[in-house]
Amino acid sequence: MRTLLVVSGGDAPGVNAALYHYTRAAALNGDEVFGAIGAFEGLLQEQLKPLSPQELDPVVGQGGSYLPSSREPVLKEASNCERLKGVLERHCIDNLVLFGGDGTLSNLAAILQSLNIACLGIPATIDNDVPGSELTLGFASACSMAQQMIDGLRATARALPGRAFAVEVLGGHTGFLALDIAYAAGADAVLIPEYAYDLGRIAKRLQDAARTYRYGLVIYSEGIGDSQRFTQAMHAHGLHVRSSKLGHAQRGAPPVHQDRKLAADMALLAYHTLQQGARQGTVLVQQGKVRFLRTTVATLPRRLPERSLYERVNGLPAAPRENTR
């Protein structure tokens, strides 16, 4: 069996570990593995190389991706789809393993399915927003990196009390990352794009926290839009706000143990599933277990961040629940 590993879209901590574990399993069984250089954009130029576990061993604990990625939507053109099929045939590729987030696994996997190209998807994104999966590769590491930075803010907050600290995290158009970080950090408020928020109420929460704990802490997702408007609103309420942006350092964080284990579980399940003849599907986390579903994520319902957790962090009264009696 000859497998091609493709990393598309944004990188995520743990991708290198998954590449290693897949390649190692294949080598132990006499199968061959290749990597795409520059995702599908590079593949169209026949940029692929053989991979070995010995080559990947030094990067297992590193963030980023050993295989360069690309966001170019080259497969939207029918002519490029035919070129791709020709490349795979010339290199005798039997199947693909595709690493990526919601866009990659919803759109590109569907295109590959329409071309009758055997492909399994592995959700790799710090945003944790892939439909059907409770967890994605890289999420835990991005959260861990944020907590370390927040611990540093706490130290300076105690040294010069009376201020509020606002931390912007990644997450795209979703708030999974911001909400988990805020809850674990014991933040006084969290702003995410999925749910409405009252800036006046947020300001009061931070003022009360500054009086009680000497500082206030709010976490917000980049997906809320104009972060400057938020900071100005807090200043208008008399708060001294210090803002920090984690930016893409979250994506490049070294993988923590949870992501390394998830990488191994996902890669090994993908390998053995392909070895058994699977043609299409996705490796997902459901009910706390890594599972294989014979479908693309485009067919699965989208998730929302946990509403009760959002209410708890923001000190909101619980939303009324539907009476099912």
**Reduced to 3 states, what is the DSSP secondary structure of residue 286?**
strand
Selected catalytic residue, list 11, 57, 102, 127: 127
Judge contact between 298 and 107, C-beta under 8 A.
yes
Helix ranges restricted to H, the chain: 15-28, 39-43, 53-56, 78-90, 102-103, 109-114, 139-159, 176-185, 199-213, 227-236, 257-275, 307-313
Sign of CA dihedral 76, 78, 83, 87: positive
How many residues comprise the chain?
A: 325
Q: Is 127 a catalytic residue?
A: yes
CB 123 within 8 A of CB 130: yes
Nearest to 206 by CA among 229, 231, 184: 231
Closest CA to 242 of 252, 234, 251, 250: 234
Structure tokens at 50: 């053989």
Active site residues: 127
